[in-house]
């Protein structure tokens, strides 16, 4: 993150101090010891925590899968894998520290397919395309902090970072899928601006993703987020600085073992998906991710591992249940980044509805 700091004389606490208080409350508290810097805050860094209980239960190795409501986050090209209109969402508290993350996404394929589960999908035809899909998503982060008010008194505020995404996906015969997202970032720091008014910031970013299945059950995926970096311009602050969300990239592959093809369904029924992913960028900590998902009838079991380049590895696990048009997923994420009496592992619950 690149940020210019500022401090206005005889004015209310500037945005820089507000952000500093947020970070200090988490990273410099005597009760908490930081082990690695892969969980930073500011300029969209908190959004790198990930969204979707299914994907998180697999360690976030999802760029080559991206076939549920969280596709717009992991790989925009994954929206073409939807076979029906869908809506999904989740909310979780990272580390139990009041770092609240929200995600809501819905979308629809605009071309019917043999896999379509209902008659709501429009039956349109476009040349050279197998699928054309649209999606809209909301990402949110909020946390309560205390800042200085008039006369140096402390006042509580809720700092928030939000992003709205519009995604379009195209699926081509043989080649695979291409997805593009346009996203608007919106930050707010109530009562932290000039003369006690709200400070705010916004910026426009772009993501692009590729997804292909060169052979049956084997997928490869690639995605680039905040291409060339996204500038976030602050307003109503003494110097109105510009933050930079750095570009980041993900490459991955996944293979689904269908045990029915090996004539061993009496011993091992269902399917097993194995996935791997590498995420990196010029100003972020690189991470290697690996995940498993075993699906049997209505149930799914998942496990994953994440190894940041310069931090301790941590594990994830999860389970899911799908009954007709409802999918419910649960994930556990081990906390090895922070130590303290008030910190916990992270539990994520998400739900998806298919119409």
Give all strands (DSSP E) within 32-153, no chain letters: 33-34, 86-94, 99-109, 131-148
pLDDT of residue 224: 97
Does residue 72 sit in helix, strand or coil?
A: helix
pLDDT, tens digit, 9 for 90 and up, residues 239-285:
888 889 999 999 999 999 987 766 655 666 789 999 999 999 988 88
Does residue 277 sit in helix, strand or coil?
A: strand
Q: Domain map of the chain by residue range?
A: 15-354
pLDDT of residue 2: 38
Q: What pTM value is reported for the model?
A: 0.83
93 phi, psi to nearest 5 deg: -110, 110
Whether the CB-CB separation of 252 and 274 falls below 8 Å is answered with: no
Q: Which CATH architecture has domain 15-354?
A: Beta Barrel (2.40)
Locus of tokens 């799908």: 322
pLDDT, tens digit, 9 for 90 and up, residues 203-221:
999 999 999 999 999 999 9
Does residue 80 sit in helix, strand or coil?
A: helix
Does residue 214 sit in helix, strand or coil?
A: strand
pLDDT of residue 155: 74
Locate 90 and state its tokens: 């989740």
R_g of the chain, CA atoms, integer Å: 21
Mean pLDDT, the chain, rounded, equals 83
170 phi, psi to nearest 5 deg: -125, 130
pLDDT of residue 236: 86
pLDDT, averaged per 10 consecutive residues of the chain (355 residues), comes to: 37 38 38 41 73 97 97 97 94 92 95 58 72 95 76 77 96 94 92 79 96 95 94 86 91 90 66 96 92 94 95 95 95 88 92 95
């Amino acid at each position: 993150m690149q940020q210019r700091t500022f401090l206005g004389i005889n004015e209310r606490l500037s945005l820089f101090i507000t952000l500093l208080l947020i970070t200090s409350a988490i990273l410099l508290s005597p009760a908490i010891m930081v082990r690695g810097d892969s969980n930073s805050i500011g300029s969209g860094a908190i959004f790198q925590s990930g969204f979707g209980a299914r994907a998180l239960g697999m360690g976030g190795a999802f760029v080559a899968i991206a076939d549920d409501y969280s596709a717009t986050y992991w790989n925009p090209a994954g929206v073409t894998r939807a076979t029906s209109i869908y809506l999904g969402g989740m909310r979780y508290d990272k580390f139990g520290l009041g770092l609240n993350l929200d995600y809501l996404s819905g979308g629809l394929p605009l071309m019917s397919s043999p896999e379509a589960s209902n008659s709501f999908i429009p039956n349109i035809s476009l040349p050279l395309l197998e699928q054309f899909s649209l999606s809209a998503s909301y990402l949110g982060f909020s946390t309560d902090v205390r800042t200085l008010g008039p006369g140096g008194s402390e006042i509580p505020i809720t700092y928030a970072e939000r992003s709205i995404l519009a995604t379009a996906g195209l699926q081509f015969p043989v080649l695979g899928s291409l997805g593009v997202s346009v996203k608007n970032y919106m930050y707010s720091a109530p009562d932290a601006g000039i003369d006690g008014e709200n400070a705010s910031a916004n910026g426009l970013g772009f993501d692009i993703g590729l997804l292909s299945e060169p052979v049956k059950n084997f997928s490869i995926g690639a995605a680039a987020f905040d291409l060339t970096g996204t500038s976030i311009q602050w307003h109503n602050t003494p110097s109105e600085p510009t933050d930079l969300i750095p570009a980041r990239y993900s490459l991955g592959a996944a293979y689904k073992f269908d045990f029915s093809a090996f004539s061993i369904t009496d011993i091992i029924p269902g399917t097993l998906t194995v996935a791997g992913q590498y995420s990196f960028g010029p100003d972020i900590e690189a991470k290697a991710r690996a995940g498993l998902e075993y699906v049997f009838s209505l149930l799914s079991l998942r496990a994953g591992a994440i190894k940041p380049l310069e931090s301790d590895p941590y594990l994830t696990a999860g389970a899911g249940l799908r009954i007709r048009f409802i999918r419910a997923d649960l994930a556990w994420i081990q906390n090895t980044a922070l130590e303290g009496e008030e910190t916990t592992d992270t539990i994520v619950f998400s739900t998806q509805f298919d119409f």
